[in-house]
Amino acid sequence: MSALRLIFLGPPGSGKGTQAQRLAVRLDVVQLSSGDVLRRERAEGTPIGKKAAQYMDAGTLVPDDVITGVMLAGIDKLPAGRGFILDGFPRTVPQAEALTAGLAERRLGLTAVIDFKLDDDEIIRRVSGRRVCVGCGATYNTSFLPPKVADVCDNCGQSLIQRKDDRQDVVMTRLATYRAQTAPLIEYYARGGLLHAVDSARGADAVEAEVLRIVGAAGRPG
Ligand code: AMP
């Protein structure tokens, strides 16, 4: 059976990152999160990280060529035949076109594109409650996925913080950016027959089960 290669699309706070974390384990594939990659580059003070910082803090998108280069390099680092979930990439039509060309060059096909749908009020509620572990990157939510001890990670015991770009003013910019630049990808992938919409307003378990059903892997062990 060929490797699973998935793209997770959706507005900020739609749960695509949480689902990518969970499903990467469940499906034994690698999660490639563009936001996490950029945050790592920033933390390490690399030229890419320095270039990305201003865009990330403003809630706008880093230039297409920067992120496309980083993500294709991430795919190239995977062992041959390893499946992946692209989480947060592509985010514009030029990125999607570059990815289509890059995958074709590498003779890799996509299994499915999952569009996580959520309305704006719920997005704002979820994003403002989101907390992230400074140590392992695990995500929590103060209202519906709280850690066992307030502000402490269940997995590694380090502190939980609110991302700067999860503050309400930046979230509004990120949402507007999503509508203007990322939403057109829904049409792009629908044309290729790869698109599946999932209602993200349901609980995380129900959403996970729906994605598993879509990728035809619900019956897999593990
Ligand atoms: P995320 O964690 O996916 O919300 O990403 C955080 C920030 O990283 C975004 O607001 C953008 O500034 C930047 N970013 C992440 N992925 C991309 C992408 N595919 N294209 C451009 N910028 C991105």
Domains annotated for the chain, with CATH where assigned, are 5-118+176-219 (3.40.50.300)
Indicate if ligand 1 lies below 6 Å from the C-beta of 165.
yes
CA–CA dist 59, 40 (Å, integer): 17
CA–CA dist 93, 204 (Å, integer): 28
Indicate if ligand 1 lies below 6 Å from the C-beta of 67.
yes
Whether 91 is a known active-site residue: answer yes
Element (H or E) spanning 99, and its range? helix 93-105
The alpha carbon of 12 is separated from its chain's Cα centroid by a whole number of angstroms, namely 9
For 15-33, how does the pLDDT look when each residue is reduced to its tens digit (9 = 90+)?
Answer: 999 999 999 999 999 999 9
| Atom of ligand 1 minimally distant from the CA of 87 | 3
So what's the pLDDT on residue 203? 87
DSSP code at position 145: B
So what's the pLDDT on residue 218? 35
Element (H or E) spanning 131, and its range? strand 130-133
| Atom of ligand 1 minimally distant from the CA of 177 | 10
Indicate if ligand 1 lies below 6 Å from the C-beta of 13.
no
DSSP code at position 85: E
Indicate if ligand 1 lies below 6 Å from the C-beta of 195.
no
**How many Cβ atoms from other residues are within 10 Å of residue 87's Cβ?**
25
For the record, the structure tokens of 14 come out as 């739609």
Give the global pTM. Answer: 0.88
Place of tokens 């499946």: 83
Distance between Cα 127 and ligand 1 center (Å): 15
Rounded (5°) CA angle 24-138-174: 90
**How many Cβ atoms from other residues are within 10 Å of residue 180's Cβ?**
11
Indicate if ligand 1 lies below 6 Å from the C-beta of 91.
yes
Q: Whose CA is nearest to atom 19 of ligand 1?
A: 89
CA–CA dist 198, 136 (Å, integer): 27
> Is the distance from CB of 164 to CB of 170 less than 8 angstroms?
yes
136-171 core/surface letters (b: 16 or more CB in 10 A; e: else): ebbbbbeeebebeeeeebeeeeeebeebebbeeebb
| Atom of ligand 1 minimally distant from the CA of 59 | 10
Average pLDDT over all residues of the chain: 92
So what's the pLDDT on residue 1? 59
Q: Whose CA is nearest to atom 15 of ligand 1?
A: 35
Spell out, as residue ranges, where the chain has pLDDT lower than 50.
218-222
